[in-house]
């Protein structure tokens, strides 16, 4: 620094540098040789496994000195002073260890039994041994499968599934279950069931109680089995004994028997049909109401109502 300077043109000043530093002073202080202070600042960037420190700038207003510190590519969580996790493995998490006052790597804590509360619709306690799961009621047609909760096979056959058309049903149900029920938009109100080989219209479900059948073709009637109500307009001619077929063999083809037959006689001449089983058909003898004699070779008309199984 200058000391004892008189400030005149002929004045001389003494300069001294106090302390250490890269400061150089030149010049005599004269107008034609002013003092020049030259100070050189050394900058250095540093790098280690944790940080990269970069120094830059020349100290001017337009380019001031800057120091930037960032994590190095080799930096690890373990380099933080209060973390001690040099070799974590897959699935581990950081946990505080009060005895060492360090964060350490360890397996996540499993919730203890009873830590998760739930109602009876769920099962398990959330532990690896008994994970949480849905508690299905198979008696009410619900079951659990590899892909989730759904209807059991019995449940699938117990509900009516809706489809836009037969093609949509075929695409959705590649392997139908016996007695599965469906309904199509193209046939509204009509329930179909899978017979084992095809979709068929669900038959009349009225339960009939029969003490005895009118006629058996291949066995007894079992209450609850589907029945067929057949309405036939009869227009025939009786034979020489007044006999007619009320239900022909063709009418009974594929049936196991007949529960009941009703004949509503019609025509200009009053008559009455006496119905009886006749091997593979149902026949009747026609009698005149006027004198009770058989109506041999007589054209006859009637409405037949028969319950078949």
pLDDT of residue 21: 58
User: Which residue in 25, 26, 13, 75 sits closest to 47, CA to CA?
Assistant: 75
Judge if 227 and 301 occupy the same domain: yes
53-77 pLDDT, tens digit each: 888 887 777 888 788 888 888 988 8
Identify the domain boundary among 169, 201, 233.
Answer: 201
Judge if 279 and 195 occupy the same domain: no
Identify the domain boundary among 201, 236, 263.
Answer: 201
Domain enclosing residue 246, as ranges: 215-308
CATH number for the domain spanning 258: value is 2.60.40
Whether 144 is in a domain gets the answer no
Whether 69 is in a domain gets the answer no
Whether 258 is in a domain gets the answer yes
pLDDT of residue 68: 86
Q: Which helix (H) or strand (E) holds 264?
A: strand 257-266
Q: Which helix (H) or strand (E) holds 168?
A: helix 166-172
Whether 30 is in a domain gets the answer no
124-147 pLDDT, tens digit each: 887 788 888 888 888 888 888 888
CA distances (Å), origin 236, targets 280, 285, 287: 18, 13, 15
Judge if 197 and 220 occupy the same domain: no
pTM greater than the 0.95 cutoff: no
Whether 180 is in a domain gets the answer yes
98-122 pLDDT, tens digit each: 999 999 999 988 766 666 777 888 8
Round to whole Å and give the CA distance between 62 and 291.
Answer: 139
For residue 1, give both structure tokens: 């620094």
pLDDT of residue 14: 62
Neighbours of 124 (CB within 10 A): 15
Round to whole Å and give the CA distance between 152 and 154.
Answer: 5
CA distances (Å), origin 227, targets 222, 223, 259, 261: 10, 10, 9, 13
User: Which residue in 211, 172, 208, 168 sits closest to 187, CA to CA?
Assistant: 168
pLDDT of residue 294: 97
Number of structural domains the chain divides into: 2
pLDDT of residue 147: 83
- Quote the longest CA-to-CA distance of the chain: 176
User: Which residue in 165, 138, 162, 171 sits closest to 152, CA to CA?
Assistant: 138
pLDDT of residue 113: 64
Judge if 253 and 172 occupy the same domain: no
User: Which residue in 60, 59, 58, 1 sits closest to 25, CA to CA?
Assistant: 1
CB-based burial of residue 275 (10 Å sphere; 0-12 exposed, 13-18 middle, 19+ buried)? buried
Identify the domain boundary among 173, 201, 229.
Answer: 201
Round to whole Å and give the CA distance between 123 and 125.
Answer: 7
Whether 18 is in a domain gets the answer no
pLDDT of residue 154: 78
Whether 174 is in a domain gets the answer yes
- Adjacent-strand bridge partners of 275: 284
For residue 189, give both structure tokens: 């109100």
Judge if 185 and 246 occupy the same domain: no
For residue 235, give both structure tokens: 């227009």
Share of the chain above pLDDT 70, in %: 87
Whether 49 is in a domain gets the answer no
For residue 88, give both structure tokens: 């974590």
Judge if 225 and 165 occupy the same domain: no
Judge if 194 and 279 occupy the same domain: no
Judge if 180 and 235 occupy the same domain: no
Judge if 299 and 259 occupy the same domain: yes
E strands, 13-151, are 14-15, 23-26, 36-39, 46-47, 51-56, 66-71, 83-84, 93-97, 102-106, 122-123, 133-134, 142-145, 148-151
Round to whole Å and give the CA distance between 220 and 171.
Answer: 40
Judge if 300 and 246 occupy the same domain: yes
Half-sphere exposure of 154 (CA within 13 A, CB side): 7
Residues in the chain predicted with pLDDT less than 50, given as ranges, are 1, 3-4, 6
């Amino acid at each position: 620094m200058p000391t004892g300077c008189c400030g005149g043109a002929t004045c001389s000043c003494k300069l001294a540098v106090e302390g250490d530093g890269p400061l150089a002073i030149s010049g005599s202080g004269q107008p034609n040789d002013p003092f020049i202070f030259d100070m050189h600042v050394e900058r250095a960037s540093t790098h280690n496994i944790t940080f990269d420190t970069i120094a830059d700038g020349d100290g001017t207003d337009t380019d001031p000195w800057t120091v930037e510190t960032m994590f190095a590519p080799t930096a690890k969580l373990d380099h933080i002073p209060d973390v001690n996790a040099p070799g974590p493995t897959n699935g581990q998490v950081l946990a505080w260890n009060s005895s060492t006052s360090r964060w350490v790597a360890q397996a996540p804590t499993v919730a203890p039994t009873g830590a998760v509360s739930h109602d009876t619709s769920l099962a398990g306690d959330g532990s690896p041994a008994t994970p949480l799961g849905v508690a299905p009621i198979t008696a009410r047609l619900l079951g659990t499968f590899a892909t989730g909760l759904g209807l059991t096979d019995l449940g699938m056959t117990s509900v009516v599934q809706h489809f836009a058309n037969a093609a949509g049903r075929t695409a959705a149900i590649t392997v139908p279950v016996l007695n599965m029920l469906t309904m199509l938009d193209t046939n509204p109100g009509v329930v179909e069931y899978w017979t084992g080989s095809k979709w068929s219209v669900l038959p009349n479900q009225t339960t009939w109680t029969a003490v005895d059948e009118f006629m058996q073709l291949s066995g007894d009637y079992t209450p609850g089995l589907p029945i067929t109500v057949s309405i036939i307009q009869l227009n025939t001619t009786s034979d020489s004994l007044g006999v007619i077929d009320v239900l022909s063999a063709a009418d009974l083809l594929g049936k196991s028997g007949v529960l009941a037959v009703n004949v509503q006689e019609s025509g200009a001449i009053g008559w009455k049909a006496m119905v009886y089983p006749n091997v593979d058909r149902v026949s009747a003898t026609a009698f005149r109401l006027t004198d009770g004699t058989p109506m041999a070779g007589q054209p006859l008309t009637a409405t037949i109502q028969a319950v078949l199984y």
